[in-house]
Amino acid sequence: MNFRNLILFTLRLILLVLVQIFFLKNLALFGQAFAFLYLLGLLILPLNLRTIPLLLIAFGMGLVIDVFYETIGMHTAAATFMAFARPIWLKAVSPTGGYDDMQYPTLSEMGTGWFLSYAFPLVFAFSIVFFSIDHWGFGSFFSVLNKSFFSSTLTCLLAILVQLLFFKRRRGI
Amino acid sequence: MLRILQFLYRIRAFILFVFLEVVAGWLIVTNNSPQGAAFFNSSNAVIASVLKKQADLVQFFSLAEANEELTEENAKILSTLFAYTQPADSAYLELDSLLEVSYQFRGARVIANSLRYSQNYITLNKGANDGVKPGMGVFNSEGVVGRVKSVSKNYSVAFSLLNTGLLVSSKIKSTNDIASVQWDGRDASEANLLYVPRHIKTQPGDTVVTSGFNSVFPEGIIIGIISEVNPDTEDPNYLKIRLKLKTDFSKIKYVYLVENTQYLEVDSLQQQSEVTNEF
């Protein structure tokens, strides 16, 4: 990863966090579907990024979101969990022949089908952890499942839209 | 020894993961206990100022509505005030200290609010410099809103009534039976009324107001209206009562803070006589 990419990724992460704080904070469709768009920033980090920096980035992002959301620790715990699961899941869904020349698990490099099968379970895992913590001791299991399912659907939908609208297409396609 | 170190080195990512999760868990636990260090929250100056900017911007679009509400409330206050002014020809009784006012009110603006979690908080733009203290009650023209949790210089954070950790001492207005209101973490417009014994006769449509027993709220601030009364299936002693909340939590903008100036005296007397106030 060269210096230019480093700047680009940092800016992307900051921008996503800002959007999350300012625009998506009070958004909850039908009281069920939350949008965790900032997770997109974690999903599209380079494939060869090692687990330790990934964990630290997720922890930091989660903490920043938490501080603004009044939910100290909840986003942090869930995002760290997702970051830990990411390399394992990446191995599991690797296309035949491996990732060879691909660098980023983005929509334009991998296609919509693959991106969904990569992003949805990870975001779903995040949501399960997040809502279980939120409903701790009060939880009806189904309401956790319900919220998790709709939230991850909405988040993935938004993630795809954002990538279609704002990310540069790879040349030659 | 070397083997062990090698092994630890190989699973270093996992160890870091466990460590970070423990830190996050610790943050969750300390932040949720009422006495816990409330450092990373929105009464922190930097964070509060960002939230305030956002609230300012959003507020601009709802000025007209806010004005209307204020006018309405002014009118209501004027009419109550009118009821207290003595006509010149009637006898005038001087009130003694029994009825002395022990509550002080302050106004504040909501700069951050949430509804969707099971522990919801409200951030207000008044803090210790304006005389806000932890434990003060929060309400608005519609009804009870919550209770102040922690204060910084210029901002404060309050438990919303939509917080499963907050119990509000209350009573059924028509029969004067005491009870507690607690939110169950589901619908933002409904709550449960706890500890109402079975022999009490109550029905949907009864109003529930604050009891004034826990010295946080004055007596008689509206909380909600009973919507459902059923026998509790789990506990044979109590009724299971649902409550429609009066306050619309999705659009609270201006609130009042109420302080009981004699709270300390009542509290220390109760402690001295070893009475636990269960409401």
> Tell me, what's the ipTM?
0.74
- State pLDDT tens for residues B83-131: 666 555 555 555 555 555 577 788 888 888 888 888 888 998 888 888 8
Model confidence at A123, pLDDT cuts 50, 70, 90, reads: very high
Q: Do A70 and B50 touch (CB under 8 A)?
A: no
Any CB–CB contact under 8 A between A23 and chain B?
no
Q: Do B17 and A84 touch (CB under 8 A)?
A: yes
**Beta strand B207-210 with B167-172: parallel, antiparallel or unpaired?**
antiparallel
- State pLDDT tens for residues B15-57: 888 888 888 888 887 776 544 444 555 566 667 777 777 777 7
Could you say which residues from 89 to 148 on chain A have a Cβ atom under 8 Å away from some Cβ of chain B? 133-135, 138, 143
pLDDT at A172: 44
Paired tokens of B181: 């209101």
Residue B225, pLDDT > 90, answer yes
Taken in order B164, B170, B173, B177, is the CA torsion positive or negative? positive
Architecture of the structural domain at B41-81+106-279: Beta Barrel (2.40)
pLDDT at A143: 81
Distance, in Å, from the CA atom of B66 to the CA atom of B125, rounded to the nearest integer, reads 16
Q: Is the pTM of this model over 0.80?
A: no
Domain boundaries of chain B, sorted by first residue: 41-81+106-279
Residue A171, pLDDT > 80, answer no
- Comparing alpha-carbon positions, the chain A residue that sits nearest to B25 is A73
Q: Do B28 and A77 touch (CB under 8 A)?
A: yes
Distance, in Å, from the CA atom of B239 to the CA atom of B199, rounded to the nearest integer, reads 9
- State pLDDT tens for residues B174-219: 888 889 999 988 888 899 998 888 888 888 999 999 988 877 888 8
Distance, in Å, from the CA atom of A84 to the CA atom of B207, rounded to the nearest integer, reads 51
Residue A21, pLDDT > 80, answer yes
Q: Do A67 and B21 touch (CB under 8 A)?
A: no
Q: Do B26 and A28 touch (CB under 8 A)?
A: no
- State pLDDT tens for residues B171-182: 998 888 889 999
Any CB–CB contact under 8 A between A41 and chain B?
no
- State pLDDT tens for residues A73-113: 888 999 999 999 988 888 888 777 677 666 778 887 778 88
Q: What is the overall mean pLDDT for chain B?
A: 81
Residue A148, H or E segment: helix A141-166
Residue A170, pLDDT > 70, answer no
Distance, in Å, from the CA atom of B264 to the CA atom of B279, rounded to the nearest integer, reads 17
Burial class (CB in 10 A: 0-12, 13-18, 19+), B263: middle
Residue A140, pLDDT > 60, answer yes
Which single residue is written with the structure tokens 């509400």?
B69
Helix (H, G, I), strand (E, B) or coil at B271: helix
pLDDT at B39: 52
Residue B14, pLDDT > 70, answer yes
Residue A23, pLDDT > 60, answer yes
Residue A51, H or E segment: helix A51-69
Residue A173, pLDDT > 90, answer no
pLDDT at A127: 92
- A63 against B81, higher pLDDT: A63
Residue A128, pLDDT > 70, answer yes
Model confidence at A30, pLDDT cuts 50, 70, 90, reads: confident
pLDDT at B97: 53
Model confidence at B146, pLDDT cuts 50, 70, 90, reads: very high
**DSSP letters of B53-106?**
HHHHHHHHTTHHHHHHHHHHHHHHHHHHHHHHSPPTTS--PPP-GGG---EEEE
pLDDT at B207: 92
**Which of B20, B42, B46, B121 to mutate against chain A (most A CBs within 10 Å)?**
B20
- B145 against A105, higher pLDDT: B145
- Picking from B133, B120, B190, B188, the residue whose alpha carbon sits closest to that of residue B159 is B120
